[in-house]
Structure 1
Amino acid sequence: MDINKIKELILPLILSLTLGLAPFFPEPHILGKIKWVAGGANGMQLIDWFDLVLHGAPWLLLLITIVRLIIPEKKDSGQTS
């Protein structure tokens, strides 16, 4: 793997492991929110949805970065019609 690709992963990975999982005990916060939504989201208020987005955003960024690194970019042939 190219060193530049690894560098692109560092920030999303750090964000996911810190903000994405905080607070860590008794369970990562994002897991509690996902369980809540999977259980029907009964009693969730707007602040809970915002919290889910806040803790989920680093994971989404990490996923997008990984997909961008795996799928090769289409090279422009430089020819115009």
Structure 2
Amino acid sequence: GEREKEHGITVNAICPTAFPHVGEEEADAMSQHRSEWVERKKSMPQDIAEAVVYLASEAGRFVTCSALQIREVKRTM
């Protein structure tokens, strides 16, 4: 509210999500269809720590009332 804004207080949430596991059958199917292959990068504790540092830093001073979701990264090869 206004009182928090007046004192420079921001309120945010960091929401790490579950990361799906690629099973053996899915990996076999993906390797047979290289054009559809998706590389998955798993989240690490460092990813969450970096989000916390950002929100607590001067760079994150205008971010408030936000829920920052930490999700897996999917890249098509």
Higher fraction of helix: 1
Q: Going by fraction, where is strand more abundant, 1 or 2? A: 2
Q: Same fold (TM over 0.5)?
A: no
Larger relative contact order (CA 8 Å, sep ≥ 6): 2
Q: TM-score, normalised by structure 2?
A: 0.29
Instruction: With the length of structure 1 as denominator, give the TM-score of the two structures.
Output: 0.28
